[in-house]
Chain A
């Protein structure tokens, strides 16, 4: 199922699962990720799943590329390792002050605001990966009618908890951060809780997400 394993420097494995981005390939990646987490192979320090790759970093004092590559190639996959994936519902407030790019999107997509939101809220999204900044989930796929390019000039500061879309993906800015995705709303829920010492991430790779709209009043209530 892994197409090719090469070395990423002298202390990481670069596992390639195929060129495309789709759920099937990504489920493979996550299945390997889960199985490797349970494997206790000596020396693994980090495993990073992404759309179609898995990067396994290791401590060069404890193991080596050749040794670990053999172990990964011979890894026996337990089936149904994806069964623990959850459905998570995320409230989104689309008030004008939060939906920073809705006007731009109406022009770009030639669809009105109501239809954009109707389409957006009607689908479930799949979490391909989390990362870049702590807890940020990369979700997909968007309905084709909502495929939009990034902003030409990225914002220096995207407000924390903003919901952004670009091309086939959507994500949630878990921290105030620079970014170029089209912002369509904001959630009162903290996706990454740095006060929690276990599982600070609300959303994990393989999870399914559905968004639902809330009013400004509900948004403020949830924040209290």
Chain B
């Protein structure tokens, strides 16, 4: 019998179980999913001394409030997150990126992400979740993955297993830097747009609208007028692709995106900027900057090296 569990007192706005994502199913319409901010996901599991692909709870804006029942367990929160632990009616403050010991009857209250979108909760142990097509990542659109493909719900019980007896004491100082300039590589339909449209695409600012979620970020700004055709024959999409809708507004496709799409693709966000892109909250302004493939590859190598350094400093 499993005696260690969380009770969900408040689910938060968009709290789901995620891991590294689901490969090789785009051709049947199933997107990659997985943790939106991969670096913070990796850090969460590393700080917990977990396997790198262990499930975590991802939350957006307001996180869940969870009551813990069971033996002492280590947890950590990554991202730029405000949270507290309520222990015997006392509020205890902690920082992100450090192991915290939860005791029986403690209440973990993840209040909000600060000027960012996503944060992660990892435990020294494993959330007992269902797997589907080699991943537990929840895709609420296809209703697959952990939690029957649903967000966390009020009152539900999350069972835990493999709780580590030796509680890790890891801690790092990490600052989530924010970006406003998004670097992109030209897309295959760059020449569908007028010279003026291209000019304003790179020189004007765009607003991140509220119609943004795990599927995509919708932007509002100058209309990007199309001189060829506002539709193309539907074809494959990838994370970070920027489509221009018939109305002339850009949409950046994110981890839960539809696998194919019929709007022209003006560009693709470089891989190194993806983790920071997803963290840009609605109401922010962003700008696009074009770079070439070679530079994008070099920048990614550096970004990946930085991630690996952070990980090896914990281990």
Task: Tell me if B270 is interfacial: C-beta within 8 Å of chain A.
Answer: yes
Q: Which one, B149, B187, B240, B258, contacts A133 given CB within 8 A?
A: B258
Task: Tell me if A158 is interfacial: C-beta within 8 Å of chain B.
Answer: no
The smallest beta-carbon distance between B34 and chain A, in angstroms, is: 11
Q: Report yes or no: A138 in contact with B234, Cβ–Cβ below 8 A.
A: yes
The smallest beta-carbon distance between A86 and chain B, in angstroms, is: 15
Task: Tell me if B293 is interfacial: C-beta within 8 Å of chain A.
Answer: yes
Task: Tell me if A14 is interfacial: C-beta within 8 Å of chain B.
Answer: yes
Chain B residues with CB under 8 Å of A9's CB are 184-185, 187, 238, 240-241, 267-271, 296
Q: Report yes or no: B237 in contact with A64, Cβ–Cβ below 8 A.
A: no
Q: Report yes or no: B149 in contact with A194, Cβ–Cβ below 8 A.
A: yes
With A12-B238, A45-B24, A132-B29 already in contact, the answer to whether A194 and B143 are too (CB < 8 A) is yes
A79 to B188, CA, bound (A): 30
Task: Tell me if B103 is interfacial: C-beta within 8 Å of chain A.
Answer: no
Using C-beta atoms within 8 Å of the partner chain, give the interface range for chain B: 35 or more
Chain B residues with CB under 8 Å of A136's CB are 29
Chain B residues with CB under 8 Å of A44's CB are 24
Q: Report yes or no: B268 in contact with A10, Cβ–Cβ below 8 A.
A: yes
Using C-beta atoms within 8 Å of the partner chain, give the interface range for chain A: 35 or more
A63 to B26, CA, bound (A): 19
Task: Tell me if B265 is interfacial: C-beta within 8 Å of chain A.
Answer: yes
Q: Which one, A54, A134, A197, contacts B142 given CB within 8 A?
A: A134
What sequence of 0s and 1s flags, for each residue 173-200 of chain A, a beta carbon within 8 Å of any chain B beta carbon? Answer: 0110000000000000000101001001
A64 to B265, CA, bound (A): 21
Chain A residues with CB under 8 Å of B293's CB are 7, 10, 65
Task: Tell me if A214 is interfacial: C-beta within 8 Å of chain B.
Answer: no
Task: Tell me if B13 is interfacial: C-beta within 8 Å of chain A.
Answer: no
Q: Which one, A21, A131, A197, contacts B133 given CB within 8 A?
A: A197
Chain A residues with CB under 8 Å of B143's CB are 175, 194
Give the contacts of B225-279 with A (CB-CB under 8 A).
233-238, 240-241, 258-261, 265, 267-271
Q: Report yes or no: A33 in contact with B270, Cβ–Cβ below 8 A.
A: no
Q: Report yes or no: A134 in contact with B144, Cβ–Cβ below 8 A.
A: yes
Q: Report yes or no: A57 in contact with B29, Cβ–Cβ below 8 A.
A: no
Q: Report yes or no: A131 in contact with B23, Cβ–Cβ below 8 A.
A: no
The smallest beta-carbon distance between A31 and chain B, in angstroms, is: 14
Chain B residues with CB under 8 Å of A200's CB are 28, 133
Q: Report yes or no: A10 in contact with B270, Cβ–Cβ below 8 A.
A: yes
The smallest beta-carbon distance between B182 and chain A, in angstroms, is: 12
Task: Tell me if B90 is interfacial: C-beta within 8 Å of chain A.
Answer: no
What sequence of 0s and 1s flags, for each residue 1-26 of chain A, a beta carbon within 8 Å of any chain B beta carbon? Answer: 00000111111101000000100000
Additional pairs, 9, CB under 8 Å, beyond known A8-B187, A9-B269, A132-B261? A8-B265, A9-B296, A10-B271, A45-B23, A54-B236, A55-B26, A130-B27, A131-B236, A175-B142
Where the two chains meet, the residues of A that have a C-beta atom closer than 8 Å to any C-beta of B are: 6-12, 14, 21, 33, 44-55, 57, 60-61, 64-65, 129-136, 138, 174-175, 192, 194, 197, 200-201, 204-205
* 7 nearest A-B residue pairs (beta carbon): A9-B268, A55-B236, A48-B236, A131-B29, A134-B142, A46-B26, A131-B259
